[in-house]
Every structure is written in C-alpha cells, then in structure tokens.
Amino acid sequence: MKYVSLDLETTCVERKNPNNIIGFSFVVEDSNVRGIPVDYLPHCTGLIDQQWWEGNAFALQMNAKYLKMIANRKYTHLKPYHIYDKKDWVPAVLEFLKLHFGQERITVAGKNVGTFDIQFMPEVIQNMFRARVLDIGSVYVDFNQKTLPGMSECMKLANMPTTTVTHDMYQDAKDNITVLRAKYPALSVP
C-alpha cells in the first residue's frame, strides 16, 4: 500500500485553521517498494511564513526554533526545511502529492492525524485524502488498556532506539513510518 505520513507543527491545538500551521512534512511510503531507508523516502517538508501568528504560549514556545528560522530566513539551505511564503506552500504540497499519487485518493498516516493534522489542512488538500487514516495508536492498541497508546509508547513497542517524540515534523513523519514498519516487519525487507 502506498500512503503519506503527515506531521504538522502548529501554533495551537484548538483552532484548526491553515493559518496556524508553522511547518509540515509529508513523507511517501510505498510498501510494495521494500528496503528503502526512511531517510531516502520522498518528502515535502517546509516552514510557512504566515507573516502573523496567533496561538497559545505552550505551542509557540515549543516551536520557537522554527519561528526564529522563519523570522531570520536562516538555515534555508539546510535540508529538509524550505521556507514557503503563505501563498506558495499549498501549490507546492499539491504538486508533490499529485506527483506521487496522481489523481488517486491518498491514505494518510500519523499520530492523531485524523483528529488533528488533517483538520488544519486547506480543503483543497483535504479533498485529496481518503476518509480512512492509519492512526499509529490504533495500530498498536492494547484492548486491556484504558486508552490508545501515544507515540512514545508505540515507539517503545516497536523497539526503537529512542522513544522521544521530537516535535520536529520531518523526524516525526519518518518515525510514523518506522513504527508502522516495525509492526509489519515483512514490509521492511526486500
């Protein structure tokens, strides 16, 4: 199955608006093409210069490094970050998704992707997605527990060397894929 792993960094959690997106990462995984390290998977990752942000203090301070990069326009040569102007990021994401999926509806994977990330996306991008998503917590569910596991717990269950969620959208999008590969090891080997 081909899908895109999505992670966002935003200025808040309660107001689902594209103007609250600081950065995004879409990483394409195709389980029919095995053995490609996650660092070599195609991705579209960027920061958005919204010119003006509103949000809560916790989210703003958590993403301070990105806001500084945008404000200073520094480090734009460092991959994977590209800084997009407010009007340019949606066409760039649409072009990337169409390049990898054509007109096919896209399955999206991530942690809280259905209840969080997708809801921040502009409608034109949301319309490209399938109704069903791959939520990492649902894949690692233990019905003897009271709640779905968070990403750190899923990383632990996947025997990853680190179980720290970085809040770096590119790394977190790659971690989604790594955790899914660990659950379905036959997909990870050629």
Express each pLDDT in 83-118 by its tens digit: 898 999 999 999 999 999 999 999 999 998 998 999
* pLDDT, mean over the chain: 89
Query: Which is it for the CA torsion 179, 36, 171, 19, positive or negative?
Result: negative
Count of structural domains, the chain: 1
**Does the pLDDT of residue 10 top 90, yes or no?**
yes
**Does the pLDDT of residue 43 top 80, yes or no?**
yes
pTM: 0.92
Q: Of 184 and 60, which is predicted with more confidence?
A: 60
Can you give the CATH number for the domain in which 20 is found? 3.30.420.10
pLDDT-derived band at 77, boundaries 50, 70, 90: low
Express each pLDDT in 124-175 by its tens digit: 999 999 999 999 999 999 899 899 999 999 999 999 888 788 888 999 999 9
User: How many CB atoms lie under 10 A from the CB of residue 107?
Assistant: 17
d(CA 106, CA 139): 18
**Does the pLDDT of residue 75 top 70, yes or no?**
no
Tell me what percent of the chain is helix, strand and coil, each rounded to the nearest 5: 40, 20, 40
Q: Of 46 and 165, which is predicted with more confidence?
A: 46
Q: What angle do CA 2, 168, 107 make, to 5 degrees?
A: 20
Pick from 111, 118, 183, 184: nearest CA to 152: 111
Burial of 22 (0-12, 13-18, 19+ CB in 10 A): buried
pLDDT of 16 = 79
Q: Containing domain of residue 14, as a range?
A: 2-187
Residue 45 neighbours by CB under 8 Å, 6+ apart: 23, 24, 25, 26, 27, 80, 81, 82, 169, 170, 173
Lowest mean pLDDT among 61-65, 105-109, 120-124: 61-65
